Amino acid sequence: MALQNQASRVIVVGAGIGGLTVALGLAKNGFQVRIFEQASSLSEVGAGLQLSPNAVKVLRQFGIAGAVSNHIFSPKYACIRDYQSGRYYLKSPLGKSVEQRYGAPYWHIHRADLHKELVQACYTAGVEIELDHRVLGYRNEKKHVTVLLDKKTEHVDLVIGADGIHSKVRELMLGVQAPIFTGQVAWRGTVPAAAIKGAEIQPNATVWAGPNKHLVTYYLRGGELVNFIAVEERSKWQQESWRQEGDVNELRRKFIGWHPEVSAVLEACDTTFLWALNGRPSLSKWHDERVVLLGDACHPMLPFMAQGAAMAIEDAYVLTQALLKYPYAQAFEKYEDLRKPRATAIQKQSRDNTGLYHMHGGWQGRMKLQALGLASKYASGIIHAKLDSIYGYDVTTLPI
């Protein structure tokens, strides 16, 4: 339960994965939590995400892993393959192997399924979720923080800004700053496995590496769906929106000549969304007196380590535990001190993978991929050393 002298009334801004997870963790430990979400309905865009062991351990601690496991697909291998020939540059076992090594499984899940289970768990834990509310401002005061919404004003003990890369809470805290376009866009979508003709999609988390672009495929919902993320380099993003409905025919043209597995997935695709992949420089601070940031609001990252959701879930656990053990000012300091170095390191690793997946340097890029394959085959310790720091990291055992 929350400490007797602890601030206990909390507003979470944003009902995404990070916001729901921290709300659940706090509510299960005696905090009074309300979520304010600007959208008019609780829904998630239809795309998959990967939950590595470091994230699954938090879901276990928060008592939701069992419900989530009803929706997952367990991949057999993590692979990097050539965009044309299909040759394996890397084939690292997942499944039981990764569970034995790290103490938790590696799951693929539809974002909407994870979101639905988190929403239900939050309601069960007593979290109130209010939709169609925009945050306009906040003011720290001696005994509370005043939150100005577009429809009302609230007075609470703490505010957690979990409102994504375009966070209004971060803007209010640190000023307006346009996101930095990384020079890459991502096409995302899901395809019924039964609709895919002419190729058998392997039950793996597969990165198809090619010149200046790559594509990721994996199964969802026990094999019912195939999820894809196709990333290409562009010099600029001219659309006002950071996300828009994409042209499926244009997407297919971008990947003409790729391996039959890739072509078969894209041929079966009816709809896709196109995202600008944006980033932000490291923030000077993550908290301001009674207000703190979480997830993409403070450390957005490219999806090239599949750790965006996992980092928000880890944040949620650390912040919950810190608030249980310390007064809020000390808790926020402890939270940032613990989370900032790890999030920054994962951001860098994600950026570095761009060059690897996109074969930067021509033949030298291919040589790097081939060297990776040799390392995985004859010096697996090199691969494990890289993954151990990510998948083997367990926030539930940290001395917070």
Which residues are designated catalytic? Answer: 218
| Helix, strand, coil in percent for the chain, rounding step 5 | 40, 25, 35
Specify whether the CB–CB gap between 71 and 354 falls below 8 A: no
Amino acid 150 reads D
Contacts of 202 (CB under 8 A, 6+ apart): 77, 79, 261
Q: How far, in Å, CA of 283 to CA of 344, rounded?
A: 10
Residue 184: CB partners within 8 Å, gap ≥ 6? 231, 232, 233, 234, 277, 302, 354
Is residue 375 exposed (0-12), middle (13-18) or buried (19+ Cβ within 10 Å)? middle
End-to-end CA distance of the chain: 16
| SS3 state at 35 | strand
C-alpha gyration radius of the chain: 21
Q: Give the integer Cα–Cα distance in Å for 204 and 227.
A: 11
> DSSP class of residue 283?
P
**Residue 368 contacts by C-beta under 8 Å, 6 or more apart in sequence?**
356, 361
Is residue 100 helix, strand or coil?
Answer: helix
Q: Return the H-helix or E-strand segment holding 192.
A: strand 180-192
Measured CA to CA, the distance from residue 24 to residue 3 in angstroms comes to: 17
- φ/ψ (deg, to 5) at 240: -70, -40
Nearest to 209 by CA among 108, 360, 93: 360
The three-class DSSP label of residue 383 is helix
DSSP state of 71: G
